[in-house]
Structure 1
Amino acid sequence: MRRACIANPCRRAVSDTAAGHLDDAVRMSTTTMSTPHAHRRRALVPCYLAALAGLLFGLDIGVISGALPFLSKEFQVSDRMQEWIVSSMMLGAAGGALAAGELSSRYGRKSALLVASVLFLIGSALCAAAWSAHVLIVARLILGLAVGVASFTAPLYLSEISPPALRGSMISLYQLMITVGILAAFLSNTAFSFSGSWRWMLGIVAFPAAVLLCGVVALPSSPRWLMSRGRRTEARHILLRLRGDPADADAELRDIDGVLHVQQRGWALLRHQPAFRRSLALGMLLQVIQQLTGINVVMYYAPRILDLAGFASAQHQIGATVMVGLVNVLATFVAIALVDRSGRKAVLYAGFAIMATGMGALAILFHLGVASRFEQVLAVGMLLLLVAGFAMSAGPLVWVLCSEIQPARGRDFGIAVSTFTNWISNALTGATFLSLINAFGPAATFGGYAVLNAAFIAVVFYLVPETRGVTLEQIEQKLLAGFPLRDIGR
C-alpha cells in the first residue's frame, strides 16, 4: 500500500550539507544541555501518545457490551438490530483499514493519527447523543473508521519512531493498551450500570479521544516517512532529537535508506508470484481463524451470555464482565513472556486447546441447564478460560505471524489485506451470534465454536510455520523457493 520514494540526488546532496551543519549544532546542544535520560524521555513520550490509540481501540470494543442491554430497551430494538449496532463498527473498521495505507503513505503517519483522533471524538460524541438506533449505527460506523485507521497506523508509527532497542516493547505496549482499554470500558460500564446511563457508557470515549487529539498535534513526523518523501534534513533533525547521539541517528538513516530501496509491489506479486499468493492466503486464513474462536462474541455479548447462564441483574452481568477484561489483560502478559521462549506453534496449540475446552464446557452446561449457583459460577469460569486461552495465543500471535510470513516487497499489501479480512470476519461474527443463539440454542452454538477451536489445532500443525528465532529474510527465501508453508520457518 505504501510506495517507496527515492530522493533526488541533487536534493540529497543539499540535504546532506545542511544536515552536516545541523549535526554540529545538535552535537553542541546535546553536550551542554541534554542528558541520556532526557533523550530517552523525549523518545518515549511520542510512543506513549501513539499507544493511547490502542486504549481507544479497546474502549470502543468494550463499551457496547454494557450499553447494549439498556439502549435496546430504550429504543425497543430487535436482536437483529442489536447485531447491526454491534457489527457496524467492524464494517467501518474494515473500510478504515483499507483507507489507512494510502492516507498514511500520502499524508504521513502523524496526519493519519490526527484523522483517527478526530473521528474518535466525533463518533463517540454522536453515540452519546444518538436519538435512534439508526443514528447509533452511523455513529459506530464513524468510530469504526477511526479504529481501522488507528489499528493500521499506530503500530506502524511506533515501529518507525521507537528506539531500536525498545521497538518490540513499544509495539507490545500498543497491544497491551487494547486489552487495558477493554478492561477500562467494562469498569466504566459497571459504574454507569446502576443508573442505566448508556449514553455516558458510550460517550466516555470522547475524553481520551480529546487527549489523543491534543497529543498528536505535538508528535514528530515519522523519520521513515520523511525520508520516503525526500525530506532527509527533517528526518535527521527528528532522529537527532529522539536519539541524542549523531552516530546513532546516522546509522538509522542508513538503515532507512536500505529499506526504502525495497519498493512495495503487492499487486504485481499477487498476479505473478504463486509463493506470495500462498503467504497472503495463510495470513487471511489466520485472521478468519482468530475471529472464529468466538472471542469477540464474548466481548460484545458478555451480558447476554451471562443472562443465559442465569444472571438476571444487569448490574451482575456487567460486573462479571470486569473479570473478563481483567483476565484478558493478565493473559496478554503470558503471551509476551512465551512468544519468543516457547515458540509460536506451541503457544497456539495450548491456546486453541484451552479455548476448545472452555467452549465445550459451556456447551455442556447450557445443554444440561444452568440452575444452581455453582453451575453459574462454573459458566463464568469457562468464559474466563476461553478469554485466557485467546489472550495468551491467537490474540497477539496471529498479528505477529501475519507480518512475519509476508515477503518484503509485499508486506504492506499483505498486512493491509489481512487486517481488512480480520475486520470483515469480526463483523460477520458479531452480526450472526444472536441469530445463531435464537436458531440453534446456546448449547449448539457454543458446541460449534468448540469444534472449530479443536479443528484449528490441525490447521496450525499442517500450515503454520514456526518462526521463532528466524530472520524475516530467511523466511522469505524459503517461501520464494517453494517450501511448504509449514516449513518456511525453522
Structure 2
Amino acid sequence: MAREEGTESHKTGSLQEKKEHARHNAFLFAGAAGLAGLMFGLDTGVIAGALKFIGLDLGADERTQEWIVSSLMLGAAIGSLLAIPVAKYRGRRGAMLYAGFLFLIGTGLCALAQSVAMMIAGRVVLGVAVGFASFSAPLYIAEITEKKARGKMISLYQLVITGGMLLAMFSDSLLAYGGHWRWMLGILAVPTVIFILATLNVPYSPRWLVSRGRRKEASHVLQKLRGTRDAAEAELARIEKNIRREQGNGFTLLKKSPGFRKTFVLGITLQMFQQLAGINILLYYAPHLLEHLHFSSSAAIWCTTLLGFANMAATGVAILLIDRWGRRPLLLLSTAVSTVSLCIFGLVLFMKIDGMAGSIAIIGLLVVFILGFATGEGPVPWTMCTEIQPLKGRGLAIACSTFANWITNWLISNVFLSLMAVLGDYGIFWLLAVFNAMFFVITLLFVPETKGCSLEEIEERLNNDVRLRDIGQPVSHDADGKGFPAGAAAERG
C-alpha cells in the first residue's frame, strides 16, 4: 500500500515537473519573440534624442525633421502588409527573422548616413522591420501561450517595447553631451544580433504548423509548451477543428462572416485610437516640445528619459493586472486618466504658467498622462487584436489593424510640429484629449472582455453571431442550436 502511494506521489511530482518545465519553455519562447518589441522600442525611441543633432549635422529644417521621424512609420505600415504572405508561407518565426535582418541593414544605413536622403532610406528600412515585428511577434506569442496567461504574455511584449524606448532615451542622454548621434543609432546593432540569434532558437507556432499540414511537428511543439502528451493532443484537436471549418481565407471570411467584419473593424479602430491618443508623438518630439516650453537641451532630454521610465513602469503594472482585472476595466481607466490629464495640461499651457510651478506642472501632467496611457491604451489594443480574430482571418485582420496603427502614427508624427504652429501648443493637446475621450466611449460601447477565454472559445462565440461586446462571455444554445450569451438565457426563457 505504501509503495502504491509512493508511486502515485512520484507520478504527481513528475507531472508537476513537466508542467513547470513547459511553462518555462513557453516563457523562454515568448521572451525570445518579445525581443522584437525591444528592437521596436529602440528604433522608435532613439530618434527623440538624436533628432536635433541630425538636423544640425545634415542641415535638416523642422519640416525635414518631421519626415525623418515619420518615415519609419511609413515603412512600418508597408512592412505590416508585406508580413502577411511572409507569416503565412514562412511562419511567424520566419517573419521575425526577416525583421531581424532588416533591422541590421536599416541600422547601418542610419548610422553611416551622409545625407538626409540616406537617413530617410535607412529609417524606411527600419520601419519595414518594425512592421514585420509588430505583426508577427504578438501573433506568435498569442498562439503559443495558454489562455490564462495570454494577456500577461502579450502585454509583456508591450513592456519590452517600452523598455527598448527607455534604453534608447537613456543612451541618448549619455551621448547627448558630445552630440554623438551616429553612436546613438549605430549601437543598436548589438541587440539586433542578439534578437536574430534568439529567434533562430524558437520553434514554429503550432497553429501555423497545423495550417501547413505539419501535424507531427505541431504535436512535438505543443508537448514542449503544455508538458504532457494528453494536453498537447487535446489542444491539437481543437486547433484542427477550427482549421477544418469551411471559412476560406481572410478575404472570403470578410465577405461572408458578419462577426468577422465586426472584429475586423474593431481591431482597426483600437489601433488607430492608440496612436491618436498621442503617446508616440509626445515621445518622439518630447525634447523639442520641452525646449519650446523653455527647458534647457540637457534638461529636455533627461525629462524625456523620465517619461520613458514612467511608460515602462506603468506597462509593468498593466501586465500584473490584465489577467486579473481584465481588458475592459484597464482600458476604461486608462482612457479616462489620459483624457483628464491632457485637458489640464492644455489648460496649464493656455494660462502660460511660468517658473518652477509651471515646470513641475508640465512634467507632472505629462507623467500622469503616460502612466494612464501605458496602463491600458498601450498594451490592451495589441492583446485584443490577437484575441478577437478567428484563426483563418487572424493574419489579415492583424496585418490591417497594424497597418492602421502605423499609418495613423505616420500621419500625426508627420504633421505634429506644423499643426502645433497652427493650433498652438495648448490647442494640440486639447485635440488629443478629445481623441482619448472618444476612445473611452468606443471601449464602453464595443470592447468585449476576453479574460480567461481560449482563442477557440472566442471564435466559437463569434461564429454563433454573438454581439461583439459579449464574445468573451460563455455561450448557451437554444433548442434550435442558435448561440447567445449565457447571461441572456433568463431573458430568453
Which residues of 2 match residues 135-284 of structure 1 at below 5 A? Answer: 135-162=118-145, 167-240=150-223, 245-262=228-245, 263=247, 265-284=249-268
1:301 and 2:279 matched: no
- In structure 2, C-alpha distance between the alignment counterparts of 1:478 and 1:239, rounded to whole Å: 24
- In structure 1, C-alpha distance between the alignment counterparts of 2:306 and 2:58, rounded to whole Å: 29
Q: Secondary structure at the match of 1:432?
A: helix
- In structure 2, C-alpha distance between the alignment counterparts of 1:245 and 1:274, rounded to whole Å: 38
Q: Is the 8 A contact 1:89 1:141 kept in 2?
A: yes
In the TM superposition, residue 340 of structure 1 has moved relative to its aligned partner by: 3.6
Flag the 1:165–1:349 CA change in 2: closer, same or farther, 3 A: closer
Residue 71 (structure 1) aligns with: 54
Offset from partner CA, 1:195-243 (integer Å, 9 cap, x none): 1111111112111001112232333333333333233333444445566
- In structure 2, C-alpha distance between the alignment counterparts of 1:279 and 1:442, rounded to whole Å: 36
- In structure 2, C-alpha distance between the alignment counterparts of 1:163 and 1:348, rounded to whole Å: 22
Q: Is the 8 A contact 1:264 1:412 kept in 2?
A: no
Which of 394-403 and 426-435 deviates more? 394-403
Residue 14 (structure 1) aligns with: none
Counterpart of 1:303 in structure 2: which amino acid?
Answer: P
Counterpart of 1:332 in structure 2: which amino acid?
Answer: T
Residue 86 (structure 1) aligns with: 69
Q: Is the 8 A contact 1:306 1:380 kept in 2?
A: no
Q: Any gaps of 5 or more consecutive residues in structure 2? A: 1-13, 474-493
Offset from partner CA, 1:40-63 (integer Å, 9 cap, x none): 655543332222111111111210
Flag the 1:222–1:480 CA change in 2: closer, same or farther, 3 A: closer
Q: Secondary structure at the match of 1:431?
A: helix
Tell me how large the CA RMSD over aligned residues is: 2.7
Counterpart of 1:310 in structure 2: which amino acid?
Answer: H
Counterpart of 2:212 in structure 1: which amino acid?
Answer: R
Which residues of 2 match residues 306-455 of structure 1 at below 5 A? Answer: 306-312=290-296, 314-455=297-438
In the TM superposition, residue 483 of structure 1 has moved relative to its aligned partner by: 5.8
Which residues of 2 match residues 105-124 of structure 1 at below 5 A? Answer: 105-124=88-107
Offset from partner CA, 1:70-106 (integer Å, 9 cap, x none): 1111122122111111111111111111111210211
1:288 and 2:293 matched: no
Counterpart of 1:374 in structure 2: which amino acid?
Answer: A
Flag the 1:224–1:123 CA change in 2: closer, same or farther, 3 A: same
Which of 241-250 and 189-198 deviates more? 241-250
In the TM superposition, residue 371 of structure 1 has moved relative to its aligned partner by: 2.1
Which of 216-225 and 73-82 deviates more? 216-225
Q: Taking structure 1 as the reference length, what is the TM-score of the superposition?
A: 0.85
- In structure 2, C-alpha distance between the alignment counterparts of 1:167 and 1:274, rounded to whole Å: 26
Q: Secondary structure at the match of 1:394?
A: coil
In the TM superposition, residue 143 of structure 1 has moved relative to its aligned partner by: 0.5
Q: Is the 8 A contact 1:113 1:149 kept in 2?
A: yes
Offset from partner CA, 1:380-430 (integer Å, 9 cap, x none): 111111111110011111223333443444333222211111111111111
- In structure 2, C-alpha distance between the alignment counterparts of 1:146 and 1:473, rounded to whole Å: 30
- In structure 2, C-alpha distance between the alignment counterparts of 1:57 and 1:186, rounded to whole Å: 13
Q: Secondary structure at the match of 1:359?
A: helix
- In structure 1, C-alpha distance between the alignment counterparts of 2:243 and 2:202, rounded to whole Å: 23
Q: Is the 8 A contact 1:92 1:143 kept in 2?
A: yes
Flag the 1:167–1:360 CA change in 2: closer, same or farther, 3 A: closer
In the TM superposition, residue 474 of structure 1 has moved relative to its aligned partner by: 6.4
Flag the 1:256–1:405 CA change in 2: closer, same or farther, 3 A: closer
Q: Is the 8 A contact 2:86 2:95 kept in 1?
A: yes
Flag the 1:292–1:74 CA change in 2: closer, same or farther, 3 A: same
Q: Is the 8 A contact 2:152 2:320 kept in 1?
A: no
Q: Secondary structure at the match of 2:178?
A: coil
Q: Is the 8 A contact 1:284 1:422 kept in 2?
A: yes
Flag the 1:153–1:455 CA change in 2: closer, same or farther, 3 A: closer
Q: Secondary structure at the match of 2:46?
A: helix
Q: Is the 8 A contact 1:70 1:198 kept in 2?
A: yes
Q: Is the 8 A contact 1:160 1:223 kept in 2?
A: yes
Counterpart of 2:202 in structure 1: which amino acid?
Answer: L
In the TM superposition, residue 66 of structure 1 has moved relative to its aligned partner by: 0.7
Q: Is the 8 A contact 1:108 1:222 kept in 2?
A: yes
Q: Secondary structure at the match of 2:202?
A: coil
Counterpart of 2:236 in structure 1: which amino acid?
Answer: L
In the TM superposition, residue 476 of structure 1 has moved relative to its aligned partner by: 5.2
- In structure 2, C-alpha distance between the alignment counterparts of 1:226 and 1:44, rounded to whole Å: 20
Offset from partner CA, 1:113-145 (integer Å, 9 cap, x none): 211110111111111111111111110110111
Q: Taking structure 2 as the reference length, what is the TM-score of the superposition?
A: 0.85
